[in-house]
Structure 1
Amino acid sequence: MMTAKRQIVITIGDADFAFNLTAQDVTKYFNALSPANKVAPGHNLLTTTVQADQKEALRPLLANPVMTMQLAGTLLEEYSPDVEVTVKKPSTEPND
């Protein structure tokens, strides 16, 4: 079950950054994604969820779009519930 709000701490180099994510933050990120717009939603997710007093230290790291996407991906992966999901293959037996 997904909690309403989760704090996730990511270490970048020798600095720890605390992010406070909610389901609404993640939904806003996914809704903003488009084929031509991937980095900006990640940048927005990171800057709006990082602890306020760490925003200025985080900003220079986000100048690199690959770093932005890597950090956003790490946050989303950690936020994801730990649930095993499997797809059942359709039976090849004919249904009579």
Structure 2
Amino acid sequence: MPEIIITLGEGDDEKDIRFDVSMEDYNELLNNQVPGDKVGPGYNFLVSHVHQEDKATFKERVLVNGKTPNGMLVMLIVNEITNEVTGDVAVKLKKPKALPSK
């Protein structure tokens, strides 16, 4: 899968951060999530797949006080990567036709 580029910031403060994520990598993220923890696995996933040259910039932008991941930002980035990994897949739920009355 080609690299995924996420731009963080605006104007002169914009920084591109590159990620290499395969479908297998994404599946591993989903398997590591548990009901009470989405941010931790999401952050670990992003740190594991960010380009080495972009890792310091990524941490500078995502960590609050250099320690705690900004959960909303982590999940927004994971969402963008999800959209890229899944491509143009469309999923629709079809409701069953009503059964005839007796």
TM-score by length of 1: 0.83
Unaligned runs of 5+ in 2: 64-69
Distance 1:68 1:39 in 2: 7
Which of 12, 15, 26 is residue 8 of structure 2 equivalent to? 12
Aligned-partner residue type, residue 22 of structure 1: S
Contact 2:4 2:18 in 1 (8 A): yes
The corresponding residue for 1:67 is 73
Contact 1:17 1:54 in 2 (8 A): yes
How many residues are paired up? 91
Q: Does 1:76 align with 2:78?
A: no
Q: 1:36 deviation in Å?
A: 1.5
SS of 2:7 mapped into structure 1: strand
Structure 1 stretch displaced more, 48-57 or 63-72: 63-72
SS of 1:17 mapped into structure 2: strand
Unaligned runs of 5+ in 1: none
The corresponding residue for 1:40 is 40
Aligned-partner residue type, residue 82 of structure 2: L
The corresponding residue for 1:25 is 25
The corresponding residue for 1:54 is 54
Q: 1:10 deviation in Å?
A: 0.9
TM-score by length of 2: 0.78
Aligned identity (percent) is 30
